[in-house]
């Protein structure tokens, strides 16, 4: 199992860009397989990854993830081909549906039939990246528009890699099966190793439907990580991010991360975290996060415990574990990168 490093949704634009480049270069030096940038409602991951491509030599660069509601499928294909060419063939395209709050509130699109739209979207992206004329007639996308003056166009450039790998963020059984059917990789977030292992059945069922070998699909769980001799301190470092996801990443009715905690057996605690976040904010939500829920969703604790959990992810079938860091200073994060690399060796 290799390691990846996620710089999150804001990355270098949130603070000193040189500090983030230093982290990414250190990850590259330590042998991390990949670096990932994600999309919320701020920094653009494609721009960030193009910038990182210029400052690195070997590490793979992944979008983890680009929201499919935020740009057309061909615009995503153009961005992917451009970054892949700028990086010399190091780009991985991670895609996800996001949720109704962002899709409808930020991008002005109805959050309807998300998996059907994701299927259509991936097919159009693949057609465009193959530099074939883009013609598609699906339930959510039609190109060119029927009864229009539209023409089936082909991309003027293509990626270095053919085919360029596409990874899908997926949390529910149907979404995981779709990743097994149409994607080159699966990006689960906040999944404990035990849940990764259980969910592989859904990935395999999707792969079987398409006549694919599931062993060829990359499995790259994304987790918050913190190693420290003081286990309580390690938990407290990752608590703010987990409270944000369970409490504020979605509405009261639709929060996929909160639903995950319910499936893992933490329904009461997850409900308290959400109520506290929506009623009072981050501090109150953090207080409602029990230690066992933090331990389930994050890779945190003493070196011995983190080594055990890394081994558990490896045995569960993870091919790459993508770690996010919430340590307070640059030096702390550099230390964490090294510590995790050593514990995974």
Over residues 278-331, the pLDDT tens digits come to: 998 889 999 999 999 999 999 999 999 999 999 999 999 999 999 999 999 999
The two tokens of residue 98 are 């996001």
pLDDT-derived band at 103 (thresholds 50, 70, 90) equals: very high
Q: How many CA atoms lie within 13 A of 270 on its CB side?
A: 21
Which residue's structure tokens are 């039939």?
A: 113
Q: Closest by alpha carbon to 299, among 291, 290, 309?
A: 309
pLDDT at 59 over 90: yes
Q: Which helix H or strand E contains 321, and what residues bound it?
A: strand 320-325
pLDDT at 13 over 70: no
Determine the pLDDT at residue 1: 98
d(CA 111, CA 113): 7
Query: Which residues contact residue 264 at a Cβ distance below 8 angstroms, ignoring those fewer than 6 apart?
Result: 192, 195, 296
pLDDT-derived band at 15 (thresholds 50, 70, 90) equals: low
pLDDT-derived band at 100 (thresholds 50, 70, 90) equals: very high
Mean pLDDT of 200-212: 98
pLDDT at 169 over 70: yes
Question: For residue range 210-262, what is the model confidence (pLDDT) as tens digits?
Answer: 999 999 999 999 999 999 999 999 999 999 999 999 999 988 899 999 999 99
pLDDT-derived band at 14 (thresholds 50, 70, 90) equals: low
Which residue's structure tokens are 């910038």?
A: 51
pLDDT-derived band at 23 (thresholds 50, 70, 90) equals: very high
Rg (CA), the chain: 20
Instruction: State the distance between the two ends of the chain, measured CA to CA, in whole angstroms.
Output: 9
Mean pLDDT of 1-5: 98
- Cα 303 to chain centroid distance, Å, stands at 25
Determine the pLDDT at residue 12: 57
Which residues share a beta bridge with 321? Answer: 3
Determine the pLDDT at residue 187: 98
């Amino acid at each position: 199992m290799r390691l990846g490093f996620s710089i999150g949704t804001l990355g270098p634009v949130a603070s000193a860009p040189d500090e983030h480049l230093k982290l990414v270069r250190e990850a590259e030096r330590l042998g991390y397989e990949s670096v990932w940038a994600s999309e919320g409602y701020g920094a653009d991951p494609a721009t960030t990854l193009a910038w990182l491509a210029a400052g690195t030599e070997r590490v793979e660069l992944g979008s983890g993830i680009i929201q499919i509601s935020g740009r057309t499928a061909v615009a995503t294909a153009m961005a992917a081909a451009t970054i892949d060419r700028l990086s010399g063939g190091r780009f991985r395209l991670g895609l996800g549906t996001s949720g109704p709050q962002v899709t409808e509130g930020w991008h002005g699109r109805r959050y309807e039939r998300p998996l059907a739209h994701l299927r259509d979207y991936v097919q159009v992206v693949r057609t465009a990246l193959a530099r074939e004329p883009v013609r598609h007639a699906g339930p959510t996308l039609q190109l060119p528009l029927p009864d229009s003056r539209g023409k089936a166009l082909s991309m003027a450039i293509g990626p270095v890699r053919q085919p360029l790998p596409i990874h899908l963020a997926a949390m529910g059984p149907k979404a995981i099966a779709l990743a097994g059917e149409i994607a080159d990789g699966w990006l689960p977030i906040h999944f404990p190793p035990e849940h990764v292992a259980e969910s592989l059945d859904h990935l395999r069922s999707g792969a079987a439907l398409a006549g694919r070998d599931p062993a060829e699909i990359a499995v790259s769980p994304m987790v918050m990580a913190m190693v420290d001799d003081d286990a309580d301190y390690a938990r407290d470092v990752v608590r703010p991010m987990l409270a944000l996801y369970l409490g504020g990443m979605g509405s009261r009715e639709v929060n996929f991360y909160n639903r995950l905690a319910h499936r893992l057996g933490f329904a009461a605690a997850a409900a308290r975290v959400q109520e506290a976040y929506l009623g009072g904010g981050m501090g109150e939500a953090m207080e409602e996060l029990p230690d066992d829920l933090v331990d389930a969703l994050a890779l945190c604790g003493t070196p011995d415990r983190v080594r055990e959990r890394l081994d558990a992810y490896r045995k569960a079938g993870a091919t790459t574990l993508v770690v996010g860091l919430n340590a307070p200073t640059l030096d702390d994060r550099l230390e964490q990168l090294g510590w995790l690399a050593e514990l995974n060796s």
